[in-house]
Structures are given as structure tokens and as C-alpha cells.
Amino acid sequence: MQTLQTSTPARLCYLHLASKAAQAQVDFYRRLLDMDCQPQADGSWVLSGPQRTMLVSPADHSGLLAFAYDLGDPARLQTLRRQLSERGCSPEDIDSPLLEPGAYAIRDPQGRQTLFGLARPAAAESATGLPGRLQHVVFQTTELEAMVDFYVNTVGFTISDNVVDEQSGQLMVCFLRSDDEHHSLAFFRGSKNEWDHHCYETNEWNDIRDWADRFAKDHISIFFGPGRHGPGNNLFFMVVDADRNRLEFSAELEVTDAAREPGVWPQCEYTLNSWGRAWMRS
């Protein structure tokens, strides 16, 4: 089977957030993540910074509405659409202020919306600010095996690493890649279905320090970390935004060859943070 990594590499390019307090959320990302703000006719905002883009829409709830991947090439975009259709998935045409015409969406068995398209030039342009490329998105799910099956066997992601409960043998976490980076999507087994976090990949350890110093000046405490993950081998820390969504800053994420077999890690604190205590989802 052709995978995203081998035939249609895809890179996470933006998130679409719903927010009960949209103005406060926009102000958070504008002020702390160096993101310019452009109001849209429908009342939403486009936020863009250095290699990071976001759409924020006012709503009666807060959370993630959709996550979008850039295929980088029209031929690859059409190839993926054909492959999705052949595998029993039905892509739907969409209009997005951040994607060129021809973008489409799919929904997984639990209703999450994934978008595929070509990032508009305005969304891809760099701006001044600390480095932090939007890199991955993670969910908690009550149906982990079904989610992995869909994103691997229907969409074409590749498993980079699994985390397994050693006593029961049950799969607890799965890290999935869409290009050469260790993961752009991951799922944790949880007691409910929710957005877990999203991540910005920096250039080096000193960038992690600079981001932490920025949040410290605003009296925003680190939620998890600093530390180093086992799967992916990346340095990291996490904070929360104005809606209490979790965001991560990372450096040194593993680059993964297409022929690499999935790794297996034990479910323990050391796997999620080799430096010490970890946030355990279940």
C-alpha cells in the first residue's frame, strides 16, 4: 500500500479552532506566538506567524474543529483524493481562506475533520518572531484501534511508535507520520474523546528556553515538562492557551526513514518523559 510518506507527503499547515471567548484567544496567539490577525467576513480570524497558521471562529464551545495538511503539489493532492476514494472514503470539496481551490475534507469514524489541500502563499509566508513551525496534533480517544486502522489503512499514515501496557498487552498510544518526521498525528487511549494538544517545532534547545522565558514573563506556568519524550526523542514543554487548550513546544524531533519498523514502548512515565515525571492520560 502506498503511504503518505512514500507517495503523497503531507505536512500539517493549520488548525481551525472554535472558541467561546474568541477575542481573548486571538489576543493570546497574537501576543505570545507572534501571530498577525486578519478578521474575516464571517466573524472568524486568520492568525499567521513564522511557519504557523490558525483559523479561530467564535462558537458556543471551545476546541478543535479541523486540522489541515498541505500536500505541496497539485498532482499529489489529486493522487491522494483518488486513493482515498478507492479505499472507501468520500472526500468532500471545501472552501478555506487558507487553502487554494481544490481542497477537500474527510471525517474519521468519530467525526474528526481532516483537510487536505495546497496552502495559500499568504499562509506559508514567514513573519518575524520566535521560531515554531506548527508540527503535530494529538487526540485522546475511546476507540484507539479503530482510529489507528482508519488513519493507517484508509488515509495512509505510517505508524512510527506504539506505546503498550506491558501487563495487558493493550495499545495505549500510537504515533503516526505523514512525511519523514516522526509524527504529525497521534492518539492516546482515554476515557473520552477530546483534543489533547498541538505542537510547534523549534530549531534547537535555546529556542525552547526562549519560549519558556516568554511565557514566564506573562506568568504562564509550564503545564508539563521540560523534558524529553521517548517516542520521537524530542525536547519539549507544554503550556495552556486562553481557552485552556494545551500547546507544546518541541525541538530535535526524530526524522524517520520510510523503511523503519514501528517501535514499541512500555506504558510508563519514563516513556513519555525520560527526564522525570509525566502527564499520564490513562
Q: Distance between alpha carbon 61 and the CA centroid of its chain, in Å?
A: 20
203 and 260 in a single domain? The answer is: yes
What would the pLDDT profile of 201-221 be if each residue is shown by its tens digit?
999 999 999 999 999 999 999
Q: What span, in angstroms and rounded, lies between the C-alpha atoms of 163 and 252?
A: 20
Specify the CATH number for the domain of residue 165.
Answer: 3.10.180.10
Contacts 24+ apart (CB under 8 A), 85-94: 87/153, 87/154, 88/154, 89/154, 89/155, 91/116
Q: Is residue 244 part of a domain?
A: yes
76 and 156 in a single domain? The answer is: no
Q: Is residue 281 part of a domain?
A: no
155 and 212 in a single domain? The answer is: yes
% of the chain beyond a pLDDT of 70? 98
pLDDT at 147: 98
What is the value of pTM for the model shown? 0.96
The neighbour count for residue 61, using CB atoms within 10 Å, is: 9
Q: State which amino acid sits at residue 79.
A: T
pLDDT tops 90 at residue 3: yes
What would the pLDDT profile of 116-162 be if each residue is shown by its tens digit?
999 997 655 556 899 999 999 999 999 999 999 999 999 999 999 99
73 and 105 in a single domain? The answer is: yes
Query: Which range marks the domain in which residue 139 is found?
Result: 133-272
DSSP per residue over 146-173, as a string?
Answer: HHHHIIIIII--EEEEEEE-TTT--EEE
Q: Is residue 238 part of a domain?
A: yes
Q: Is residue 277 part of a domain?
A: no
Q: How confident is the model at residue 1 (pLDDT cuts 50, 70, 90)?
A: confident
pLDDT at 128: 82
pLDDT at 127: 67
- Tell me phi and psi for residue 107, to 5 degrees: -125, 140
Q: Give the chain's domain count.
A: 2
Q: Is residue 37 part of a domain?
A: yes
Q: Distance between alpha carbon 226 and the CA centroid of its chain, in Å?
A: 19
Distances in whole angstroms, Cα of residue 19 to Cα of each of 25, 52, 97, 177, 212: 7, 18, 18, 28, 24
Which of 64, 99, 124 terminates a domain? The answer is 124
Q: Is residue 280 part of a domain?
A: no
Task: Locate all alpha helices (DSSP H) within the chain, ordered by sequence.
Answer: 4-7, 22-32, 74-86, 121-124, 144-149, 205-217, 269-272
